[in-house]
């Protein structure tokens, strides 16, 4: 530890002192009590300059009056050493001289560096401390060290110098670089940090901390306290022995050193991938490739489950060997399973999460790495890099496989949106190009005599059909001959996307050494064990005592019907209750749309076509979005509590249960209004003489062109609005929360004293101000994208540009999520994963629902089937009289409630038209369904059956034709497994031969000495190695 006082006494007010300089002073002066007294006297003299050289406790008497003697740059190191202790000599304070020398004796050894070398040698060290005049971890390059002669002369010259006059200089920048992300020794890295309030700590909490930290140390973790500020920190470092032990327990796969024969496998695989087409595509898209200087391509390796018996086989220099994400997951595993109550070691008093929940610790987190973080921020989490590929290997090293798989999936999904977006744009352009050929919109715009029946009972007037000219033209953009083709393409695209993602992810998982990883190797959650220990029905099954009285926590089988059923039933019952609330809210919005008179005073005349076609649907969509967002916020927090109530054994089971409950609710919440417009609106209206009513209100009617236009508007509002709201929530709110938290700690807004500020002066204090990264932090990101996937698969035929909107959003979303995780969130604990979990199954189910949804929308919300039936029945293939065919005639004398027309010009109207297939009033069966209606209904039902069966068959063929794992990868895995087995067998054979030779030599020695038999431990080790080899192979 280094204590420090500045040489020159500048009179700076303490209030102007740089906070980081002050913290630096406090930190390095704690260990030396003699220097601390002098340091307190000199505290006012610390300047704001970060490059000032600090010296130890007391300057020599009359030091200010001495001259500073220098030797020429060519002087030898011995001359420097001799000069350093002459009576008139004074130590240098120039930063450029402190780190200026290099080499052995030919460099410019400054006085400060020589003094530091002298103290280091006198204290028994043969080199400078890391960060002072040497090159070390986190330290700047320095003098390179003096030779042995200089060291000996320094020691001889310093023998008559008192301890208080020895000077050990260190700069702020050096001190910061060596302790920024390391222990105070500048060597051991900080792998995990625990934080707690050092000012107000209850005795009970202090005792729990002591027990918990002692248990961590028994596990082999190394701890160091930092008590400089109000918030105290415990830095945790995991030595290699601990990592090796738990890597073996957790069955973590790590890369091996090159094996004879592997180059042939890799070369053949690379040759198969590097086809002419792939090389051509790589050349064409060279601008989107990664910068290989910053993100070099990894050499392929064969991975093997870690075992300390095979330590020399592993490639410890490979980036995938116990990378940062793996180290942090091991430490987190240890933290989750340590007790903090002595003598009552039950599952209810263990784990860091319980301590944080009880307020013993304020938080526990891993640290960002400045260099890797800056590189990722510059080359990945950057909007300007939107077109570049993602550095997935580096993301996996930094965040772990689970986060890396999310970004890999999001990037793959975004890339797969490109072809369907282009096709959707072409379909939309087709509607523009053929705008004038639509017979329905042409007849509506050219019609001047058709009078339509009022759309409400009393206040509405008759209206002319040509008033819907504009809306009918817009309706043709999405209801034309390409609608069915686009729906068919979307159904095929969805299956292709899901199947190819499974193939792509299999390659990634194998490259990361996670092939074969299953969730069965996961250990039970501490919260699950705690629930079992509290269960009366499982008393006696959760623990087992041995003969010494030591209790062992067990993982008993929990019966479903007697224990799990009630929590699950309660949880899903509440989910259904909220689904009903969501449906009621949507029904309320539908009633609002029916009660047009309630809002026409605000929005304008309800007889206006602008109100009927545009304003009312838009306002209803905005209200719907607000209600959806509010219900989403309430239920999301409730779903976590409901899932905590269940018996979820592993973290994967917990995440899947939470995901299913949330998504089922979100499915109803987001899609119910769209399903209403697509399948219910205008289908059961009745006719003017007998309207079907809900709460006294007439049901909504579709425009003469159909309800597809309103479905399109509602889809755009909800989809685009949801994406905008999510962008604000994800970026703006974390930014504001982080800023407020930083300001509150920095300026002490919640404290009465200014000296209680939390100053971020190293990595763990900077990360303390970030938002916590929860275990299910990716749930929100996945949900947003899967809901978007539902929009474009279920309803995109109502708006062919929906995939394009999703593409534009996702291009930015990838970078925004990256920025959020690197800038605003603490570094999450890396977790292993081999796929995206239950989300893939959810998207598969949505894809199947989308087939039925598309079939029903085409059949009941478009004019496809009526046009086909009309052309076949009437022989009018040009559809010249199709509009008149779709409009029924009504005698105004048959109104149930006569409209109040007042001064309307339509007072004397005797006949009006409405959109239905019914007999005219002059028919023997007036207003009844004609035969043509039943033909159309039959055609619609037949289309649903045929379309759904054809699409399902095509999807099944695609799923069969595209295997989850490519044949090339399967062949490679088999060849690697064979090569690995042969390599381990050969290694064990060589080891057994060495052991046999050792045994022979040891036996001869035993006969000559008649002592106890040696090497028994080696035989036991050999047996254990053989068992391990059998399990691996």
pLDDT at 696 over 80: no
Q: Which residues of 262-292 are buried (b: 16+ CB within 10 A; e: fewer)?
A: beebbeebeeeeeeeeeeeeeeeeeeeebee
Range 350-378 average pLDDT: 89
What is the pLDDT at residue 1003? Answer: 59
Q: Name the one residue in this structure whose structure tokens are 């995780």.
A: 821
Cα separation, 168 vs 430, whole angstroms: 80
Range 649-669 average pLDDT: 85
| Least confident span in 109-118, 299-308, 396-405, 784-793 | 109-118
Element (H, E) at 112: helix 111-122
| Least confident span in 37-46, 268-277, 793-802 | 37-46
Average model confidence (pLDDT) for the chain? Answer: 75
Q: Assign 971 to helix, strand or coil.
A: helix
Element (H, E) at 237: strand 231-237
What is the pLDDT at residue 451? Answer: 87
| Least confident span in 42-56, 230-244, 681-695 | 42-56
What is the pLDDT at residue 736? Answer: 78
What is the pLDDT at residue 442? Answer: 86
> CA angle, corner 530, sides to 570 and 220, nearest 5?
145
Q: Could you tell me which of 76, 78, 167, 160 has the C-alpha nearest to residue 118?
A: 167
| Least confident span in 747-761, 848-862, 1016-1030 | 1016-1030
Tokens of 499: 């199947």
pLDDT at 164 over 50: no
What is the pLDDT at residue 50? Answer: 34
For the residues of 926-980, what is the DSSP string, one character each? TTPPPHHHHHHHHHHHHHHHHHHHHHHHHHHHHHHHS-SS-HHHHHHHHHHHHHH
With beta carbons less than 8 A apart as the criterion, state whether 642 and 571 touch. Answer: yes
Range 959-981 average pLDDT: 88
Greatest Cα-to-Cα distance within the chain, rounded to the nearest angstrom: 132
| Least confident span in 48-57, 292-301, 612-621 | 48-57
Range 366-388 average pLDDT: 90
| Least confident span in 78-92, 507-521, 943-957, 980-994 | 78-92
Tokens of 191: 């792998």
Q: How confident is the model at residue 204 (pLDDT cuts 50, 70, 90)?
A: confident
pLDDT at 614 over 80: no
Q: Name the one residue in this structure whose structure tokens are 């973080």.
A: 373
Q: How confident is the model at residue 89 (pLDDT cuts 50, 70, 90)?
A: very low
Range 98-114 average pLDDT: 40
What is the pLDDT at residue 520? Answer: 61
What is the pLDDT at residue 724? Answer: 80
What is the pLDDT at residue 741? Answer: 67
Beta bridge partners of 898: none
Q: Where are the alpha helices (DSSP H) in 512-564?
A: 526-534
Centroid of chain to Cα 736: 20
| Least confident span in 314-318, 426-430, 784-788 | 314-318
> CA angle, corner 344, sides to 343 and 348, nearest 5?
155
What is the pLDDT at residue 477? Answer: 85
pLDDT at 328 over 70: yes
| Per-residue pLDDT tens over the stretch 703-731 | 655 678 888 888 888 888 877 877 777 77
444 C-beta neighbours (distance < 10 Å), count? 25
Sheet holding 192-197, edge to edge: 222-226, 231-237, 192-197, 363-365
Q: Could you tell me which of 470, 445, 460 has the C-alpha nearest to residue 912?
A: 460
Q: How confident is the model at residue 519 (pLDDT cuts 50, 70, 90)?
A: low
Q: How confident is the model at residue 883 (pLDDT cuts 50, 70, 90)?
A: confident
Range 192-220 average pLDDT: 89
Q: Could you tell me which of 818, 823, 641 has the C-alpha nearest to residue 737?
A: 823
745 C-beta neighbours (distance < 10 Å), count? 22
| Least confident span in 94-98, 336-340, 467-471 | 94-98
Cα separation, 125 vs 309, whole angstroms: 35
| Per-residue pLDDT tens over the stretch 745-782 | 666 565 544 445 577 788 888 888 888 887 656 888 89
What is the pLDDT at residue 1011? Answer: 46
Residues 6+ apart with CB under 8 A from 426: none
What is the pLDDT at residue 902? Answer: 65
DSSP letter at 696?
Answer: T
Residues 6+ apart with CB under 8 A from 561: none
Q: Where are the alpha helices (DSSP H) in 318-400?
A: 324-335, 352-357, 370-379, 392-399
Tokens of 671: 């899609």
CA distances from 1031 to 251, 592, 787, 989, 1028 (A): 12, 67, 43, 16, 5
What pTM was computed for the model? 0.77
Q: Where are the alpha helices (DSSP H) in 862-916?
A: 864-874, 882-886
What is the pLDDT at residue 69? Answer: 37
Range 598-616 average pLDDT: 46
Beta bridge partners of 363: 195
Range 385-390 average pLDDT: 89
What is the pLDDT at residue 140? Answer: 36
Centroid of chain to Cα 356: 22
pLDDT at 406 over 90: yes
SS (H, E, C) 626-673: HHHHHHHHHHHHHHHHHHHHCCCCCHHHHHHHHHHHHHHHHHHHHHHH
Q: Could you tell me which of 302, 271, 225, 728 has the C-alpha nearest to residue 512?
A: 302
What is the pLDDT at residue 177? Answer: 67
What is the pLDDT at residue 792? Answer: 92
88 C-beta neighbours (distance < 10 Å), count? 10
Residues 6+ apart with CB under 8 A from 971: none
With beta carbons less than 8 A apart as the criterion, state whether 899 and 908 touch. Answer: no
Strand 451-452 with 463-464, pairing? antiparallel
> CA angle, corner 258, sides to 257 and 261, nearest 5?
145
What is the pLDDT at residue 693? Answer: 79
Cα separation, 644 vs 329, whole angstroms: 22
pLDDT at 609 over 70: no
Percent of the chain with pLDDT over 70: 69
694 C-beta neighbours (distance < 10 Å), count? 13
Q: How confident is the model at residue 600 (pLDDT cuts 50, 70, 90)?
A: very low
Comparison of pLDDT for 700 and 966, the residue scoring more: 966
Q: Assign 360 to helix, strand or coil.
A: coil
Tokens of 325: 């994400």
With beta carbons less than 8 A apart as the criterion, state whether 603 and 690 touch. Answer: no
What is the pLDDT at residue 953? Answer: 93
With beta carbons less than 8 A apart as the criterion, state whether 35 and 69 touch. Answer: no
pLDDT at 493 over 90: yes
pLDDT at 884 over 90: no
What is the pLDDT at residue 348? Answer: 67
Cα separation, 393 vs 512, whole angstroms: 8
Cα separation, 891 vs 488, whole angstroms: 42
Rg of the Cα atoms in the chain:
38
pLDDT at 601 over 50: no
Residues 6+ apart with CB under 8 A from 693: 699
Cα separation, 722 vs 727, whole angstroms: 9
Q: Assign 256 to helix, strand or coil.
A: strand
DSSP letter at 479?
Answer: S
| Least confident span in 95-99, 199-203, 235-239, 241-245 | 95-99
What is the pLDDT at residue 879? Answer: 85
For the residues of 160-178, what is the DSSP string, one character each? TS-GGG----EEHHHHHHH
| Least confident span in 287-291, 503-507, 708-712 | 287-291
With beta carbons less than 8 A apart as the criterion, state whether 60 and 165 touch. Answer: yes
Tokens of 22: 């002050």
């Amino acid at each position: 530890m280094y204590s420090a006082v500045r040489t020159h006494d500048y009179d700076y007010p303490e209030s102007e002192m740089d906070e980081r300089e002050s913290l630096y002073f406090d930190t390095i002066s704690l260990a030396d009590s003699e220097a601390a007294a002098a340091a307190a006297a000199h505290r006012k003299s610390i300047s704001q300059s970060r490059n000032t050289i600090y010296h130890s406790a007391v300057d020599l008497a009359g030091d200010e009056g001495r001259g500073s003697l220098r030797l020429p740059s060519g002087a030898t190191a011995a001359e420097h050493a001799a000069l350093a202790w002459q009576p008139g000599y004074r130590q240098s304070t120039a930063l450029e001289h402190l780190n200026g020398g290099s080499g052995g004796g030919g460099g410019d050894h400054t006085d400060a560096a020589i003094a530091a070398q002298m103290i280091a040698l006198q204290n028994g060290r043969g080199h400078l401390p890391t960060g002072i005049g040497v090159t070390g971890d986190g330290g700047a390059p320095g003098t390179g060290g003096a030779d042995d002669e200089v060291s000996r002369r320094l020691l001889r010259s310093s023998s008559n110098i008192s301890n208080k006059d020895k000077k050990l200089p260190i700069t702020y920048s050096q001190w910061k670089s060596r302790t920024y992300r390391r222990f105070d020794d500048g060597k051991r890295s900080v792998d995990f940090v625990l934080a707690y309030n050092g000012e107000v700590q209850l005795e009970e909490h202090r005792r729990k901390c002591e027990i918990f930290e002692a248990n961590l140390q028994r596990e082999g973790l190394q701890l160091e306290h930092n008590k400089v500020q109000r918030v105290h920190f415990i830095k945790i470092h995991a030595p290699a022995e601990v990592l090796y032990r738990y890597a073996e327990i957790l069955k973590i796969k790590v890369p091996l050193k090159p094996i004879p024969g592997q180059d042939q496998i890799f070369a053949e695989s690379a040759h198969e991938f590097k086809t002419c087409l792939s090389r051509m595509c790589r050349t064409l898209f060279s601008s989107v490739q990664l910068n290989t200087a910053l993100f070099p391509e990894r050499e392929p390796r064969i991975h093997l489950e870690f075992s300390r018996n095979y330590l020399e086989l592993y490639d410890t220099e490979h980036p995938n060997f116990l990378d940062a994400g793996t180290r942090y997951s091991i430490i987190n595993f240890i933290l989750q399973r340590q007790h903090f109550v002595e003598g009552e070691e039950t599952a209810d008093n263990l784990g860091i999460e319980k301590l944080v929940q009880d307020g013993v610790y304020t938080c526990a987190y891993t640290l960002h790495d400045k260099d890797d973080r800056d590189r990722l921020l510059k080359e990945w989490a950057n909007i300007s890099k939107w077109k570049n590929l993602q550095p997935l290997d580096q993301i996996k090293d930094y965040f772990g496989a689970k986060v890396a798989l999310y970004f890999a999936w999001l990037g793959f999904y975004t890339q797969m949106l490109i072809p369907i977006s282009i096709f959707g744009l072409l379909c939309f352009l087709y509607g523009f190009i053929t705008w004038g050929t639509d017979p329905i919109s042409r007849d509506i715009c050219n019609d001047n005599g058709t009078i339509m029946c009022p759309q409400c009972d009393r206040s509405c007037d008759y209206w002319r059909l040509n008033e819907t000219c504009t809306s009918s033209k817009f309706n043709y953009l999405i209801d034309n001959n390409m609608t069915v083709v686009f729906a068919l393409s979307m159904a095929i695209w969805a299956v292709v996307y899901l199947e190819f993602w499974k193939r792509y992810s299999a390659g990634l998982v194998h490259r990361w050494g996670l092939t074969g990883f299953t969730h069965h190797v996961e250990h039970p959650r501490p919260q699950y064990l705690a629930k079992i220990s509290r269960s009366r029905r499982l008393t006696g099954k959760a623990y087992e005592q041995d003969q010494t009285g030591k209790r062992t926590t067990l993982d008993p089988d929990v019966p479903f019907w007697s224990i799990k059923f009630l929590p699950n039933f309660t949880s899903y019952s509440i989910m259904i209750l909220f689904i009903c609330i969501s449906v009621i809210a949507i029904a309320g919005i539908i009633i609002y749309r029916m009660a047009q008179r309630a809002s026409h005073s605000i929005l304008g005349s309800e007889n206006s076509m602008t109100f009927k076609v545009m304003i009312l649907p838009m306002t209803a969509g905005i209200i719907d979005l607000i209600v959806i967002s509010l219900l989403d916020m309430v239920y999301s927090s409730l779903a976590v509590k409901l899932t905590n109530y269940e018996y979820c054994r592993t973290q994967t089971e917990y995440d899947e249960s939470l995901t299913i409950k949330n998504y089922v609710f979100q499915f109803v919440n987001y899609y119910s209004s769209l399903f209403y417009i697509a399948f219910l609106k205008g289908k059961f209206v009745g006719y003017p003489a007998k309207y079907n009513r809900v709460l006294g209100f007439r049901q909504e009617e579709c425009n003469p062109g159909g309800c597809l236009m309103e479905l399109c508007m509602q889809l755009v509002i909800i989809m685009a609005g949801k994406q905008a709201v999510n962008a604000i929530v994800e970026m703006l709110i974390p930014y504001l929360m982080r800023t407020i938290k930083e300001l509150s700690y920095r300026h002490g807004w919640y404290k009465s004293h200014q000296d209680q500020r939390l100053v971020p002066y190293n990595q763990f204090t900077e990360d303390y101000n970030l938002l916590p990264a929860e275990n299910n932090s990716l749930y929100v990101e996945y949900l947003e994208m899967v809901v978007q996937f539902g929009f474009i698969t279920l309803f995109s035929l109502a708006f062919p540009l929906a995939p394009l909107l999703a593409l534009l959003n996702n291009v930015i979303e990838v970078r925004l999520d990256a920025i959020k995780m690197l800038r605003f969130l603490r570094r999450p604990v890396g977790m292993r994963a081999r796929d995206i979990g239950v989300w893939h199954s959810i998207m598969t189910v949505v894809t199947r629902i989308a087939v039925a949804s598309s079939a029903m929308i085409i059949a009941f919300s478009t004019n496809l089937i009526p046009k086909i039936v009309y052309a076949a029945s009437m022989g009018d293939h040009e559809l010249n009289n199709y509009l008149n065919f779709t409009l029924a005639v009504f005698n105004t004398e048959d109104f149930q409630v006569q409209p109040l027309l007042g001064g309307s010009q339509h007072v004397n109207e005797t006949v009006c038209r409405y959109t239905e297939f019914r007999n005219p009033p002059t028919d023997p069966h007036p207003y009844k369904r004609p035969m043509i209606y039943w033909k159309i209904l039959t055609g619609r039902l037949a289309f649903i059956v045929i379309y759904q069966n054809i699409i399902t068959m095509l999807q099944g063929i695609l799923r069969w034709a595209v295997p989850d794992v490519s044949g090339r990868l399967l062949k490679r895995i088999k060849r690697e497994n064979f090569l690995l087995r042969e390599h381990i067998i050969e290694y064990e054979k060589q080891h057994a031969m060495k052991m046999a030779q050792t045994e022979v030599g040891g036996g001869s020695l035993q006969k000559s000495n008649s002592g106890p038999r040696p090497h028994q431990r080696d035989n036991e080790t050999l047996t254990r190695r053989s068992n391990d080899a059998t399990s691996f192979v």
